[in-house]
Each structure stands twice: as C-alpha cells, then as structure tokens.
Amino acid sequence: MESGGPAKEPPRTSPLTSLLTLQDITVRGRSQPRLDRVSLQLKPGERLALLGPSGAGKSTLLAVANGLLEPDQGQVLWQGEPRARGARARRRQQARIGTLWQDLRLIEELTVQQNLNAARLAAWGWPRALLNLLLPLDTSACAAVLQRLDLDPALLNQPVSALSGGQRQRVALARLLRQEPLLLLADEPLASLDPRLAADLLTLLLELASPPRALLLSLHRPDLLAGFDRVVGLRAGRLVFDQPSTSLHPAQLEELYAGSEEP
Amino acid sequence: MRPAAPLWVLLPALVLVPVLALLPGISHGGGWELVGQFAAAALRPSLDPLVLGSVLGGLAVTAGIALLGWAGSLALGLVLGIASSRVVWRSCCGSAAPAGWIRRLLALPRSIHELLWGLLLLQLVGLQPAVAVVAIAIPFGALVARVVSDLLDALPTANLEALRCGGAPAPAALLTALGPPLLPQVISYSGYRLECALRSATLLGVFGLGGLGTELRLTLQSLAFPELWTGLWLLLAVMLLLEALLGWLRRRWAMPARLGLRQRAVGRQGREMVAAGLVLLPLLGAVAWGLEVRPAALLQWQGLPPLGPADWGAVAALPWPLLIGNTLLLTLTAAALAVGLAPLLLLLVQPWPAGGWLVRGLWALGRLWPPPLTALLLLFVLQPGVLTGALALGFHNLGILGRLLLEASETSGVAEQQALGAAGTGPRLALLYGRFSGLARPYLAYGAYRADVILRESVVVGLVGATGLGSQLLEALSSFAGDQLLALVLAYALLTLLGEDLSDRARLWLLETPHGDGHPQEAGGTWR
C-alpha cells in the first residue's frame, strides 16, 4: 500500500465494523491479574493511545492483541470473527498486525533489505525465504519503504549492525510498512528517545496510521496525546477510562497515575 | 552473492547429498533383522539381578576411572598451565620465551588421543586400572594446560602491574591479581572436562581397559541386546544426572557458559566451591582405593615381546597418501554431518514441542554412545570403510554439538524470533531467521574446533577397517610392529597439530566481527 497500490485483498470490513475487539479479557498473573476483564474495540483508521503507570498491563494488552499471549478468559475478535484456532489461519491473521518493538528486534547479522523482507516471511514459502538469504529480493519495494521514511536506498545492502541508532529506528518502521499491516501496535516506542526524535517518530507513526490502518500505541507521556482519536487508561490491569482524547480531564490523569512517580 | 548468516549454519548439511547417494552402495542389507532386534530391545532391557549387578559394577569402575583421570588432568593441567603462561614467566623472570617452549612441548601429548595413550600404556605395563586413569590424565592434562595458560594470558593485567609497582613479589602479586578472575572460568571449564572424562572412560572400556565399556562391547558382539540396553540406559541416566548437576552448579555459581554469547557475572559462592573441593579429595582417595589403583605398579614395565629390527623400508612403503586422505575425508564428513544435522533437526521438529524432547533424547544417546560401538552396530548393515566410520563419529559429535546449539539458542535471539512469530512467520522460519542469525558465527566456530577434535578421535573408529591412519595404527599395535607404530603416531600427531592450527585460524576468522559491535570474542579458550 505504501509503495503505491492499495491492499491486494478488498477490505472485508466496512469502516463501521471493528478491526480488533477484546471482550472481557483476563490474563492471570502471580498475585493479581495482569489484565482484569478488559474490553476494547478498535475501528479501522482509529488512533488509540494507551496510558497507565508501569505494571498497569499495557504490554500485556499489546501481547494479547498481536497474538503472542493467549488470554486466560475472554475473546479476541479480528475483523469481527473469533481469532483463528488453527496455526496457519492464525498466522495469516497475525501477518496483518504489525508491532513496533521498543528494542526494535532487528536482526543484526542480516542486511537492511533482508530485514525488510523478513516482514514478508509469513506470506513467503521456504524457497523464497532461503533465496532472500542469498540474493537481494524485491529491491524496488524495499527501496520504496526506505524512501517513504527519508532513508537512503543505498542502505539496503548494509548490515543492520552498521547502522546508527536513528537509522535503526527508521528501518524498524520501514519493516513495519513492508509487512503491510492493518493494525499497528507500538509498545512505548518513545520511551528511550530524546524529545525531538520522539516527536518526529510520533508524527511518523500517526501519519502511517491512515485509514484503513489503525494504531494502538502505549505511552508514558500524556503531553503527546494531540494526534490521537481516543485514549484508554489502564491501572492495575483494569480499564479506567476509554474516551476521545479531547475530552480527557487532567484530574483523570492524576487519578490514573496516583501513587506512582510517573506524570 | 554472499550467503547470509543463517544459511551458513545449514550449508554443512549439504554433505547429506553425497552421503545418502553413497549409502546404498555400501549397504549389504544382511543385518536389518539384527538392527530391528537391537532397537526393539531398547524397550525391554534385561532386569536380571545378575546382569544388573555386573552392569552396576562396570559403571562404578567407569565412573571411578573418569573421576580419577579427570582429577589427575586438572592437577597436571593447572601446574603445566601456569608453567606455560606468558604472563607468569614475564612477571617472575622477565622473559616470556620459556612459556612458548613448554607450550610447544605440550602439543605432543595433547595431539595423541587418550585411546592411543591407553593402548600404548597397556603394552608397557599390562592391564591394570591405573592405565585408563593415566591415559585420560595425560592428554586431558595437556589440554587443560593450554586452556589455563590461554585464559591466564587473556586476563587484563592492570591490577597485576599496580601490585608489582607497589613492590609486591611476583608470586603473591600473580595470585592476588589473576587468581580470583581465573578461578570461576577454570572451574566452569573443568566441569565440562568431567563430562568428557566420563565419555572417554566408557570408550576406553570398549577397547578392553576395564569398566562398563567392556561389557557393552561384549554384549553387542554376542548379540545380547537386552543386556546391552541395561548398560546403555544406566549409563544414560548417570550421564544426564552429571550434566544436570554440573549445569545446576554453573548456574548457581554464575559461571560462564561454554558457547557463551553473553559473559555472565563472576561467581561469588567461594565457600561452597571450597567445600565442594574438600568433599572431592577424600572421595578421590576412596575411589582410588576401591579401584585398586597402584601408582607404583605403573613403574613395573612388563617384558615386551622381542621387537624385530626396524624395517623402515616397509614403513615408507605404507600407502601414506591414501591413509592420510582417508583420515581427512573421514574427519570432514563426520564434522559436516554433526555440524549440519544439529540445526537441521532442530528446524524440522520446531513446530512440535514433543519433537524437541525427541531430538534431545537422540542427542543424549549419541553423546553417551562410544563411536566404536555405533560403528560395530552399523557393520550389521553397512560395509566397513570411511563412510561407516564417519557416520559413527558424526552421530557421537552430533550429540555434543546439538546440546550446545540448544543451550545457546535458549538465550540468543529469543526476542527476534518472537517478533517474527508475532508477525505471522511460521515457527521454522522464525527459528532460522531469528535465532540462527546470531548463533551462526559462534556455532560454526565451535564446529571448527570440533572438527579438530574429530580428527584426533578418528582413531577410535579404526576398528571398522579402512578408515585411514586409525585402522592402520590399530593393526600395527596388535601386530607389535614398533617401527610402523612410531611412524603412524608421529604422522597422526603432526596431522592433528596442523588441523589444530587450521581450526584455530577458522575460528578466529569466524569470530572476527565485521563491525565491532556484534558478538564478543570472549571464551576463545574455554571451548576446548
């Protein structure tokens, strides 16, 4: 999509139906639940920020969303249908959910191009996956995602271990684009960045989350809520509020972070 | 077109193509029924008290030999290691040159396999328990010496220099500055040596030097498979227990792992280590007493059969190029099989949790199983030769490499694999891309070292015939051809030293990171 053409398959959902639905999700923890009956709906094109102190369950919620974690109770719906049980169908769903990891999780030993193509592995069979380790594949598509993020296409055959910190951040984003996801997840992507880089990255992420793509992002800093449609507050595994970001009252934030040293 | 890291890991498995193509040609198909009986007997080992008693007795002897040989090699290795350390000589005498000479001298005992030491000693002093112990202690001791001196010379010397400038005498300064950082690494390494010693003691038994190995070979040759499996299962239990115990101690004392991608903190459980050492000493004494090891008896050489005048013409007439070529072919095939099959099998079973346990079990069997026994088993269906020997050695080393790969992959590339999985990548490709990328260099570097070990080990499958220097050597031994024996041992040693040099170069090249911030180059020595 980002390299010009629209998604290959026609959108199965109208803008009104939900992309991702969490129904009464509970994830048990050692002493108290990490998520306690959390329900949430995300529509195509929506940009949702997840707020809450450390340990509130933000990362757990994102892990449930991208399928890494199976909830102990409750149901996850993807495009209105229960999440697939079979491994293959499940992976096809996961292929449409892209995650931007805080530690990026790029493969250091591979080139930028191989890393970008790794985002397509869900769709590729073995021959192509092996060929990608031998020859540069899909160079034009890879160059296009790099250019979209203002990166020099000459970086394509550099190993990731040779990149600077800022370049890595963008390559990770480029890999996300190359995956062509419908839902973008990001776990505290701004946490370890200096303020200017953080603002740049947030702008980029909000820009990339144009309809039909949706964005679900966990955040430490309530001052960066401007671009989001909705904001959800989590505290001790429970959903505290879920409302348009414009109607958020400072008192709600104070209550959300009460007792913690954060904002 | 340069293959990327994960492909390197798979490339050695290409050796399967020629191996599988050649197998039909060397199979004689006569003994499939026997192989079937052997496999079926795994489920119903003999529980006859008489068999159990004899197996347990043999196991005790093997374990005792392993323990004593190991302790001897540590004592020898520490002393010789310090004596061949450059930093020690430089501190004490101002010149590091003697360290180099001692190192070169130690290369010879190291390059000769413990089996050869055992068989040579057997000829000299006759069959007694001390033979196997000394046979293990000599080459292992020389190996430990090399590791200890490598570790010593790789330690940072700032503290040492500071102490020396303050006027401390050299021995005290060395002990204070280098002792504490050296100790945990040596202890961790010696744990691995104990595992190796158990394997070696079993192997020596196969060649008649006492213990369980002897019974395993006898039961195999008399086709008493249920009795054979009684011994194998018990040996497996002991080996897995030992590995688990050593792994637990390493974690508890925070020791560096062998294929260490991450250097762990230095252990602080000093008191426990000292206590363990104190327990070990009387135990060693009791074992030596129980095995009736008498060092004095080692000095009473038996009369050798009269040696004829050396016939150097006959020695020169041996088909040297063929012998050396076959040895190298055997080594490379076995190494490629072991190095390539471990990741391939992991990939194959990745989607099934039960599969993981299956390969673990297979590898444990491969580790404990002395390669000559595998070779004898293979002779039921295959003709003797290089390939049969390579399969036997490859299976054994697959067990060792596979376990290392599994251990290392439990800590490396976990996040990358998870990220790929969350994006819908299948389990096998996520393993290949996510984990094998980072493991490729250290794993292959270890494989290069292993190839060097396999070269030395190739003598142990000599008994299946036509495997090059190994089989010729065993023949010379049994026919008391002293001149041939001398020439063959020297040729073996020379070849091993060349191989060691080559594998060292390969390792350095593999571990040299192109951009300086990849994996650390530590633990170069602790792999031995």
Q: What are the φ and ψ backbone dihedral angles of A71, each rounded to 5 degrees? A: -65, 150
Question: Which residue of B lies nearest to A63 if distances are taken between CA atoms?
Answer: B422
pLDDT, residue B308, reads 64
How much is the mean pLDDT over chain B? 82
What is the share, in percent, of chain B residues with pLDDT greater than 70? 91
Chain B interface disruption, residue of A61, A107, A131, A177, most B CBs within 10 A = A107
- Among A129, A145, A152, residue whose Cα is nearest residue A180: A145
Question: Which residue of B lies nearest to A67 if distances are taken between CA atoms?
Answer: B422
Is residue A2's pLDDT more than 60? no
Of B7, B514, B517, the CB nearest to A134: B7
Contact in structure between B429 and A122 (CB atoms under 8 Å): no
A251 vs chain B: nearest CA distance in angstroms? 36
Confidence grade of residue B76 (pLDDT, cut at 50, 70, 90): very high
CB-CB under 8 Å, B415 with A101: yes
Task: Please indicate if any CB of chain A lies within 8 Å of the CB of B422.
Answer: yes
Is residue A61's pLDDT more than 90? yes
Tell me which range, A235-239, B305-309, B312-316, is most confidently predicted by mean pLDDT: A235-239
| Exposure of A3 in the CB half-sphere (CA atoms within 13 A) | 17
pLDDT, residue A160, reads 92
Is residue A24's pLDDT more than 50? yes
Q: Report the alpha-carbon distance of residue B436 to residue A161 in Å, rounded.
A: 16
Task: Please indicate if any CB of chain A lies within 8 Å of the CB of B438.
Answer: yes
B417 vs chain A: nearest CA distance in angstroms? 9
The predicted-structure confidence for B178-192, as pLDDT tens digits, reads as follows 787 777 778 878 888
| Exposure of B328 in the CB half-sphere (CA atoms within 13 A) | 13
Q: What is the mean pLDDT of residues B273-294?
A: 79
Element (H, E) at A200: helix A195-208
Question: 């199976």: which residue's tokens?
Answer: A70
Confidence grade of residue B258 (pLDDT, cut at 50, 70, 90): low
A96 contacts on B by Cβ (under 8 Å): 424
pLDDT, residue A62, reads 93
Task: Please indicate if any CB of chain A lies within 8 Å of the CB of B419.
Answer: yes
Of A108, A119, A162, the CB nearest to B438: A108
Q: Report the alpha-carbon distance of residue B409 to residue B436 in Å, rounded.
A: 8
Confidence grade of residue B519 (pLDDT, cut at 50, 70, 90): very low
pLDDT, residue A232, reads 93
A130 contacts on B by Cβ (under 8 Å): 7
Q: What is the mean pLDDT of residues B29-37?
A: 81
Chain A interface disruption, residue of B425, B431, B444, most A CBs within 10 A = B425
B 93-122 residues inside an 8 A Cβ radius of A: none
Q: What is the mean pLDDT of residues B239-266?
A: 68
Q: What is the mean pLDDT of residues B263-267?
A: 45
pTM for this model (two decimals)? 0.83
B507 vs chain A: nearest CA distance in angstroms? 17
Tokens encoding B99: 């360290």
The predicted-structure confidence for B457-514, as pLDDT tens digits, reads as follows 888 888 777 678 888 888 888 887 778 888 888 888 888 888 888 888 887 788 775 5
Task: Please indicate if any CB of chain B lies within 8 Å of the CB of A179.
Answer: yes
Beta strands, E only, chain A: 20-27, 35-42, 47-51, 73-78, 81-82, 97-100, 183-187, 214-219, 230-235, 238-244
ipTM of this predicted complex?
0.87
Contact in structure between A2 and A181 (CB atoms under 8 Å): no
Size of interface A-B (CB pairs under 8 A): 93
- Among B249, B137, B116, B235, residue whose Cα is nearest residue B191: B249
B 2-41 residues inside an 8 A Cβ radius of A: 3-7
The predicted-structure confidence for B84-101, as pLDDT tens digits, reads as follows 888 788 777 777 778 888
Look at phi and psi of residue A219 and say left if phi exceeds 0, alpha if psi is from -120 to 50, else beta.
beta
User: CB-based contacts of B229: which residues, under 8 Å, 6+ apart?
Assistant: B41, B42, B44, B45, B46
Strand order in the sheet with A73-78: A35-42, A20-27, A73-78, A81-82
How much is the mean pLDDT over chain A? 86
Of A92, A135, A161, the CB nearest to B1: A135
Is residue A184's pLDDT more than 90? yes
CB-CB under 8 Å, A107 with B438: yes
Confidence grade of residue B306 (pLDDT, cut at 50, 70, 90): low
Is residue B3's pLDDT more than 80? yes
CB-CB under 8 Å, A97 with B6: no
B426 contacts on A by Cβ (under 8 Å): 91, 121-122
The predicted-structure confidence for A207-227, as pLDDT tens digits, reads as follows 888 888 999 999 877 888 888
What is the share, in percent, of chain A residues with pLDDT greater than 90? 41
CB-CB under 8 Å, A103 with B415: yes
pLDDT, residue A50, reads 93
Is residue B303's pLDDT more than 80? no
Q: What is the mean pLDDT of residues A102-118?
A: 92
Q: What is the mean pLDDT of residues B20-39?
A: 83
Low-confidence winner among A24-33, A176-185, A188-197, B201-210 (lowest mean pLDDT) = A188-197
Q: What is the mean pLDDT of residues B349-366?
A: 88
Contact in structure between B441 and B489 (CB atoms under 8 Å): no
